[in-house]
Structures are given as C-alpha cells and as structure tokens.
Amino acid sequence: MKVFVTVGSTKFDALIQAILSDSTLRVLKKRGYHRLVIQCGNSAHEFVNFVDGDRVHKVEQDGVSIEVWRYKPSLKEAFEEADLVISHAGSGTILEVLRLGKPLIVIPNPTLLDNHQEEVATALSELGHLKSCTPSQLPTTIEGFDTTSMVPFPPFDGNRFQRLLDEQMGFV
C-alpha cells in the first residue's frame, strides 16, 4: 500500500521530520504501507537535502520504500494512486483529496497566515471528513486511523453558491 505526503508549495520541515521519523515509519509498516512518496517543496530537512531540482530520489528505510521530489505540475495522479494521503492543511489540497474519496490526515502549518490552516482542519475534522493532528501526534494518529468511520465528503454542487446568495438576498 502507498502513502502520499505533500507539504504544498511552501516549506514545512516539521511535517517532513514527522513523516520520516522512526516511529512513523514503524507504524506505516505495521499498518501495511510499504511505499512512501513525499512531495517536499522547499523543505530543508537533512534527509531531503539530496533533492536537486525536480529529480526523484529513492531510498529504503525501515522496510519502507521512500521516494522524494520537490514539485510536479499536478498532484492528481499521486493522490489517485495513494491509499492514504498525509498533507499540510491547505484548502485546495484538502478539497482535491476529499473529492477523490481518499483517506486524509492533515497537519496544519502554523507558520502560515495567522495559522488559517488550523481553522480549516479543525472544522473538517469535527465533521468527520479527515483527521487532523500535530507533527508529534502523527504516529499515533496513523496507528488509530479508522478509515471506515470517515464521513464521505459531499460531491461538488455548482448551484449551491447561487442558492445561498438567493436566500441571503431574499429571492427565495
């Protein structure tokens, strides 16, 4: 099984460190994940310092095959191939993954725009669409993650905004 990790377009070393920790790798292997693909963005963790441009580097650690790259024009294929996605809590990434029906664990990046990712992550976690945690909680979150209890994300409804606007304006 495959895990895909994305930090988005920024630097999020805490997520990279958390996913590459011995305890997280042990839990991933225990849960049956043997392939880990990481989009590391601008992260500077010592493990990914060997990444040069967009070259893909592969290694094996603790029985888990690890592939690391910085950026690709689209993450859609990586999301589709993943059995589990672990991500920063960017709203675009969250929506794309949830619309694909993939299990999702998010770790808000507190260094961005007044910690706005925390609000999105908390709200969607409370609705049961994903799990949210801190970097230090990642191993236990993965270990206890029950994908069968997740609430499916509603499909896109292009008319919803118009209906909400009509209600607010008193046209309904």
Per-residue pLDDT of 63-113, as tens digits, reads 899 988 888 889 999 999 999 999 999 999 999 999 999 999 999 988 877
Cα separation, 167 vs 163, in Å, equals: 6
Give the number of domains in the chain. Answer: 1
Tokens 């007044």 -> residue: 114
State the CATH number of the domain containing residue 55.
3.40.50.2000
Full residue range of the structural domain in which residue 7 is found: 2-169
End-to-end alpha-carbon separation of the chain, Å? 49
Question: Which residues in the chain come in under a pLDDT of 70?
Answer: 45-57
Q: Could you count the other beta carbons within 10 Å of the beta carbon of residue 25?
A: 19
